[in-house]
Amino acid sequence: MSEEQITKKVIEILRGYVKDASLLENATAETHILKDLKVNSARLVDIIIKCEDVFGTSIDDEEADRIATIGDAVTLIQQKAA
């Protein structure tokens, strides 16, 4: 799966957890999930679990702690798929 495909899927997942969907319209790899998208930390856990399900991978707590931006999530998913 390409980086672009993973990014699109991650943004699609985020859409279900972001209260203001318009915040995703200009989302990039640098978009901060908590600050820019106004997702709280409890929801971030739900997003990570959903990513695990969608991408068929497991993300441990240490790895999850490193996810701050959309790009961080995409990079981690790519590493797990390799």
Q: Summarize pLDDT for 5-23 with one digit per residue, the tens.
A: 999 999 999 999 999 999 9
Q: Is the pLDDT of residue 81 over 90?
A: no
Q: How many helices (H) and strands (E) does the chain have?
A: 4, 0
CB 10 within 8 A of CB 77: yes
Distance of CA 69 to the CA centre of its chain: 7
Residue 65 binned pLDDT confidence (cut-offs 50, 70, 90): very high
CATH placement of domain 3-81: 1.10.1200.10
The domain ranges of the chain are 3-81
